[in-house]
Amino acid sequence: NAGVMQNPRHLVRRRGQEARLRCSPMKGHSHVYWYRQLPEEGLKFMVYLQKENIIDESGMPKERFSAEFPKEGPSILRIQQVVRGDSAAYFCASSPRDTYEQYFGPGTRLTVT
């Protein structure tokens, strides 16, 4: 059973470009979480999604950031018009229904030049 997959593992974007980060949850998991880890900081919650629904986006920046988890395919975290401050590691976690335990992917390291 493959774990949570994230790609790309490393992403370099110039200021103003768009970044798309993908997350494939573990098989059978219908809940996805995105966290951001800024340099020298802990992980901060961004958004919690179920299939085709955003349940809690209280940690998402109000502009430029969006997330989706379609019926088919991976969850996508999209950052438009990236700025240097967006450079961070973005982690995805998934969980089965009605359980606390979140399984984390290896993360995507985004560098904005």
Partner 1 sequence: AQSVTQPDIHITVSEGASLELRCNYSYGATPYLFWYVQSPGQGLQLLLKYFSGDTLVQGIKGFEAEFKRSQSSFNLRKPSVHWSDAAEYFCAVAPSLTAGNKLTFGGGTRVLVKP
Binding residues for partner 1 (CB under 8 A): 3-4, 6, 9, 31, 33, 35, 40-45, 48, 55-56, 58-59, 91, 93, 95-102, 104-107
- If the CB atoms of residues 17 and 29 are measured against partner 1, the closer one turns out to be 29
Least spacing, CB of residue 106 vs partner 1, in Å = 5
Strand spans (E) along 1-113: 5-7, 10-13, 19-24, 31-37, 43-50, 53-56, 65-68, 75-79, 88-95, 103-104, 108-112
Least spacing, CB of residue 101 vs partner 1, in Å = 7
- Tallying the residues shown for the chain, one arrives at 113
